[in-house]
Homo-oligomer: A and B are copies of this chain.
């Protein structure tokens, strides 16, 4: 999916990568949609776990920002979004998952804004959540999918200046590692 888009993920090619015959994909997952759903659910669970770890870190804003800028997560989400366009089951799963993720982010901003004694009317937590997600998502799309980067560095600097005003400099050690992507699992 990441290399060639969801349309390139077929039973034949999936099986070939696993060194097996295409029919086994259907044996394990029946339809391709079931396979995509299984993949999505596993990634969504991992995403929520990572978000929880980011929220629990000493610098939640830095952690959330780093997490949402992880290209692999966003690129996969975009593929699933495109797939969701004509697969109802995927779409339902994806939007439910996005809602859960947003709720987590909202709680994080509520907590953080209270901690730094900011006015919720001036910086509504839900707006902060949407802004953080939209900016990071968009930058990843342009960078990874189009190879574009005009204005990206300046925008990152701008956002990070805001975070720095709240949480101070990024602590280089512990937090970032706790949010790193999870390695692919081996088949059982």
Contact = CB atoms under 8 A, between A and B. Distances in A.
A11 interface: no
Q: How often does this chain occur in the complex, in copies?
A: 2
Given A146-B95, A148-B99, A154 B124 contact: yes
Contact of A98 (B127, B134, B135, B146): B146
A66 B99 CA distance: 26
Contacts of A142: 98
A177 B119 CA distance: 37
Contact of A131 (B4, B84, B155): B155
A91 B147 contact: yes
A51 interface: no
Interface in A81-132: 81-82, 84-86, 91, 94-95, 98-99, 102, 106, 124, 126-127, 129-131
A5 to B, nearest CB: 4
Contacts of A127: 151, 154-155, 158
Contact of A135 (B126, B134, B148): B134
Interface SS majority for chain A? helix
Contacts of A137: 134, 138
A151 B84 contact: no
A14 interface: no
A152 B142 CA distance: 22
Across the A-B interface, the 3 shortest Cβ-Cβ residue pairs: A134-B138, A82-B82, A5-B85
A136 to B, nearest CB: 9
Given A126-B154, A134-B139, A134-B155, 10 more contacts: A85-B145, A91-B147, A95-B146, A106-B151, A127-B151, A129-B151, A130-B139, A130-B152, A133-B138, A134-B137
